[in-house]
């Protein structure tokens, strides 16, 4: 699995779900980034030349590749002049070279596929038409985003041929009608390592598949924004009519002793009613009992079996409805992202999957969404919180714990025992709730917080803390004093500012004299404004702070979204401005070189 971060793994940030993808999935129904556009083109060499004066004789349907958009704007004469500087002056060799690069590009592109509906003029049904079977062994990652025009059943036969598939992500699908087809397809991929459901409606899972999920080679499982299709009680007992007439006509015997009279009144009140009304009811019941003698030769049907207890029916329905959660029982599961609602918590804990090894004993990354103690339905808040504690205590090797920004939790009845945790990403208000231990090395806040609340939320001491990322709503000198007291060992300090104006000159001038000497181990400092229409920190503020002369260990400073100052060695006092072009933004917004 690819990891991101500055100067190494930085606590394994790549294991968490990116916040941008989380909010896009929540707001629009799924990721909207299209990696590759698919269509028809001719010979790749003719595609580079622009196809202006060349007839299309190659009718083979291939992927459209546009790695060099600049070449398509150049005239053919200029391209031929460029090729004239080659030693061979042989366009056929150039063409073969283009085909070689094309084959490498097509293989690289087919390794990570994303299929989206309504792709303009793209005909999704012809993507794999007339393809050689060897291409089916190339895809290792497949992301299918569903909509009205793209059903899961129409894509099932196509992706079953991808024998080397390792990553399967389904988002925006209504899978309630797929049933056994969905769960049986998981066993056809011997190399499947990651399975992701993002905003999908999952169907009930048959028991025979739920028992086999432990044998899947899954290492990473995502079940976020999921909804569960109610289970139909197939093969259940016929409902019993609790009316006296039904028992008399079918069984030919006496009705059961009633516990209440007609109209729902108790017998004590029914007996004190006027006698004509009682006698009329008695005569009607007596005449219905005499009907059994009018058909002496008619066989009496056998009585129906007694209905099972209500708790058995509810247990079977719940087991089928939440049967997909048995995917968490995969023995090799390492990363789990889950909607932690009260219904899911009760099912997993009651089944024993989340408290007994090996279900959670091997987890090293856990990310929960919907952890809200105010939305418990059908159970008490204390039981929901106890289920959460049992889940965390069952993860004996947990290293990374993440909470989505929608967490609403004030307390836990017991300590979760997170002794092996070294990366914590959640709202900073939950630091004391989860009793974060002294072994935590990386903390990332996912919500905006004021400096006054920051001092209250942070623990008394975190001796092993190396990196922290804050999202502040205001910026002043109080943040610096708080950081000096709590983060003396921090090497990576990042502040994202969401206010209406950037830090003033007085705050910047306090850095070299009050702030930096208190953090002798600081190596990376990021402090910049985030959002549209906000004042960005200018590059000349770096000269005001004079960071290079005040702190010898500092290696990188970022003061605005497109300016990063770095120096090559500690002994070198010359700082250079590095442009971020070519760098990507990783999880949480941090830079990824």
By three-state DSSP, how is residue 57 classified? coil
Residue 308 pLDDT grade (very low, low, confident, very high; cuts 50, 70, 90): low
Helix orientation angle between 381-394 and 342-351, rounded to the nearest 10 degrees: 60
pLDDT score of 112: 80
Q: Which two tokens stand for residue 572?
A: 């070198």
Q: Determine the pLDDT at residue 401.
A: 92
Residue 483 has pLDDT above 50, yes or no: yes
563 vs 578: CA distance, rounded Å: 7
Nearest-CA neighbor of 170 among 158, 162, 182?
182
How many Cα atoms are found within 13 Å in the side-chain-facing hemisphere of 244?
17
Question: Which of 343, 247, 255 is closest to 303 using CA atoms?
Answer: 247
| φ/ψ of residue 419, rounded to 5 | -80, -25
By C-alpha distance, which of 20, 2, 106 is closest to 404?
A: 20
- Please tell me the least confidently modeled range out of 4-18, 345-359, 440-454, 480-494: 4-18
Q: Which two tokens stand for residue 196?
A: 């992701």
pLDDT bracket for residue 311 (50, 70, 90): very low
Task: Give CA angle at 297 (244, 290), nearest 5°.
Answer: 35
Res. 220 pLDDT band, cuts 50 70 90: very high
Rounded Cα gap, residues 470 and 464, in angstroms: 18
Token readout for 413 is: 């009845």
Q: How far is CA 91 from CA 45, 59, 87, 232, 323, in A?
A: 10, 21, 11, 67, 61
**What digits encode the pLDDT tens for the residues 175-206?**
887 778 888 888 888 889 999 998 888 888 88
With b for 16 or more beta-carbon neighbours within 10 A and e for fewer, the 360-383 pattern comes to bebbbbbbbbbbebeebeeeeeeb
Burial of 393 (0-12, 13-18, 19+ CB in 10 A): middle
Residue 28's pLDDT band, with cuts at 50, 70 and 90, is: very low
Domain segments of the chain: what residues?
44-110, 124-232+314-427, 470-592
Using DSSP bridges, classify how beta strands 591-592 and 584-585 pair: parallel, antiparallel or unpaired: antiparallel
Query: What's this model's pTM, rounded to 2 decimal places?
Result: 0.67
DSSP, res 326 = G
505-544 CB burial, b ≥16 within 10 A, e <16: eebbebbbeebbeebeebbbbbbbbbeeeeebbeeebbee
Q: Is the pLDDT of residue 109 over 60?
A: yes
The confidence band for 20, taking pLDDT boundaries of 50, 70 and 90, is low
Tokens of 578: 């590095």
Which SS3 state, helix, strand or coil, does residue 49 take? helix
CATH topology of domain 124-232+314-427: 3.80.10
Q: How buried is residue 27: exposed, middle or buried, by Cβ count under 10 Å (0-12/13-18/19+)?
A: exposed
Residues 401-420 have a mean pLDDT of 84
Helix (H, G, I), strand (E, B) or coil at 194: strand
pLDDT of residue 117: 63
User: Are the CB atoms for 504 and 483 separated by under 8 Å?
Assistant: no
């Amino acid at each position: 699995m690819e990891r991101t971060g500055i100067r190494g793994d930085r606590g394994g940030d790549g294991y968490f779900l990116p916040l941008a993808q989380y909010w896009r999935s929540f707001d629009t129904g799924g990721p909207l980034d299209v990696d590759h556009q698919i269509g028809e083109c001719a010979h790749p060499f003719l595609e580079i030349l622009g196809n202006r004066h060349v007839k299309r004789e190659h009718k083979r349907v291939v992927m459209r590749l546009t790695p060099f958009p600049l070449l398509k704007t150049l005239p053919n004469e200029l391209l031929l002049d460029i090729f004239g500087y080659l030693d061979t002056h042989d366009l056929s060799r150039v063409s073969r070279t283009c085909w070689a690069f094309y084959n490498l590009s097509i293989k690289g592109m087919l390794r990570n596929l994303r299929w989206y509906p309504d792709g303009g003029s793209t005909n999704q049904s012809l993507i794999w038409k007339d393809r050689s079977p060897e291409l089916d062994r190339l895809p290792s990652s497949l992301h299918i985003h569903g909509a009205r025009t793209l059903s899961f059943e129409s894509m099932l036969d196509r992706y079953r041929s991808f024998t080397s598939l390792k990553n399967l992500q389904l988002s925006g699908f209504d899978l309630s009608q797929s049933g056994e087809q969905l769960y049986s397809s998981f066993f056809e991929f011997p190399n499947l390592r990651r399975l992701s459901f993002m905003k999908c409606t999952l169907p009930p899972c048959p028991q025979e598949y739920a028992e086999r999920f432990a044998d899947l080679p899954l290492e990473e499982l995502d079940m976020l924004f999921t909804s569960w299709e109610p289970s139909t009680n197939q093969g259940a007992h016929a409902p019993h009519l609790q009316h006296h007439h039904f028992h008399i006509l079918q069984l030919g015997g006496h009705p059961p002793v009633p516990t209440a009279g007609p109209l729902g009144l108790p017998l004590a009140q029914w007996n004190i009613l006027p006698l004509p009304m009682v006698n009329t009811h008695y005569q009607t019941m007596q005449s219905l009992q005499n009907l059994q003698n009018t058909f002496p030769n008619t066989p009496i049907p056998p009585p129906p079996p007694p209905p099972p207890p209500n708790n058995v029916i509810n247990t079977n329905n719940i087991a089928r409805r939440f049967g997909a959660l048995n995917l968490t029982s995969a023995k090799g599961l390492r990363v789990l992202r889950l909607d932690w609602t009260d219904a899911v918590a009760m099912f997993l804990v009651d089944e024993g999957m989340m408290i007994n090894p090996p279900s959670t004993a091997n987890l090293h990354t856990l990310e929960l969404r919907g952890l809200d103690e105010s939305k418990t339905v059908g159970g008490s808040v204390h039981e929901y919180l106890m289920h959460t504690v049992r889940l965390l205590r069952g993860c004996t090797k947990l290293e990374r714990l993440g909470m989505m920004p929608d967490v609403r939790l004030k307390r836990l009845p017991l300590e979760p025992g997170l002794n092996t945790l070294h990366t914590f990403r959640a709202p900073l208000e939950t630091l004391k709730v989860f009793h974060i231990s002294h072994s935590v090395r990386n903390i990332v806040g996912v919500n905006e917080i004021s400096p006054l609340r920051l001092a209250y939320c942070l623990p008394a001491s975190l001796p092993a803390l190396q990196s922290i990322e804050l999202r502040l709503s205001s910026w002043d000198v109080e943040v610096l004093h708080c950081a000096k007291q709590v983060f003396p060992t921090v090497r990576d300090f990042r502040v994202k500012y969401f206010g209406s104006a950037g830090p003033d000159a007085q705050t910047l001038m306090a850095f070299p004299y009050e702030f930096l000497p208190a953090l002798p181990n600081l190596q990376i400092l990021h402090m910049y404004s985030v959002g549209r229409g906000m004042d960005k920190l200018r590059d000349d503020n770096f000269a005001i702070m004079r960071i290079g002369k005040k702190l010898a260990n500092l290696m990188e400073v970022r003061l605005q979204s497109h300016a990063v100052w770095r120096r090559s060695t500690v002994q070198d006092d010359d700082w250079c401005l590095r442009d971020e072009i070519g760098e990507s933004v990783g999880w949480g917004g941090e830079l990824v070189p």
